[in-house]
Amino acid sequence: MLADLLASALRYEGWEVTTAGTGIAAVRSAQEIDPDVIVLDIMLPDFDGLEVMRRVRGHSPNVPVLFLTAKDAVEDRVAGLTAGGDDYVTKPFSLEEVVARLRALLRRSGASEEKPASLLEVGDLRMDEDSHEVWRGEDEIQLTATEFELLRYLMRNPRRVLSKPQILDRVWNYDFGGQANIVELYISYLRRKIDKGREPMIHTMRGVGYVLKPAAGADERV
């Protein structure tokens, strides 16, 4: 689903993301969470995004809203903006553009975009994103640039099964036409450095992808 791909990309950027599959769920989430910014699709299964916008505005009149839609006619864009939307992106779109537009909306609204914490922790595995240092317990682990990016993606999505296409897109920024052997290769490199002689943290979900979880018996910090 498009919502899942976008949510994954935003989480990778360090943002907390909540998704909703219907207009009713979207309104309920907006009321419960009081979000800093909303990404809203015009086409929803129960009622459209414009109605969601009207209901959300009744509770959170100042929250920025970015509309995503396949409708690119001028009248559709005008309708979305008139309903209270702050920006409008038509499909297909690039994830980089959406992220840039969301950041611009946050700046204009005065909402603070918190910088993701420099230190990532999953169990006894730690990563300093600024210094590019990695430790398993008390042992420092030396990684290549690509190994570091792959591990960072896994650590930013702990307990989430990540498919090979997802990993290719986020770490290498392209795909190999279905040939994802390079992912398997670099996962094996990481396992030698992260898991060798220890309880494993990197797990293969056959036919699905890979997941990083705290080792059994370890402090389950995430």
- Domain architecture of the chain: domains with CATH: 2-109 (3.40.50.2300), 119-212 (1.10.10.10)
User: What's residue 60's pLDDT?
Assistant: 78
**Separation of alpha carbons 41 and 26, rounded Å:** 10
Question: For 145-189, how does the pLDDT look when each residue is reduced to its tens digit (9 = 90+)?
Answer: 889 999 999 998 899 999 988 888 788 765 445 455 889 999 999
Most confident of 29-33, 84-88, 154-158: 154-158
> Per-residue pLDDT for 57 more than 60?
yes
Tokens of 193: 């450095």
Higher pLDDT, residue 130 or 218? 130
**Separation of alpha carbons 65 and 39, rounded Å:** 6
The predicted model gives 83-92 an average pLDDT of: 80
Average pLDDT taken over every residue of the chain: 82
Question: For 11-21, how does the pLDDT look when each residue is reduced to its tens digit (9 = 90+)?
Answer: 777 778 888 88
Question: For 102-127, how does the pLDDT look when each residue is reduced to its tens digit (9 = 90+)?
Answer: 888 888 876 654 545 578 999 999 99
Give the torsion sign (CA, 57, 40, 158, 207). positive
Host H or E run for residue 181: helix 181-194
**What phi-psi label fits residue 34: left (phi over 0), alpha (psi between -120 and 50 degrees) or beta?**
left
Q: With pLDDT > 90 as the criterion, what percentage of the chain qualifies?
A: 28
The predicted model gives 28-54 an average pLDDT of: 84
In terms of C-beta density within 10 A (0-12 exposed, 13-18 middle, 19 or more buried), how is residue 75 classed?
exposed
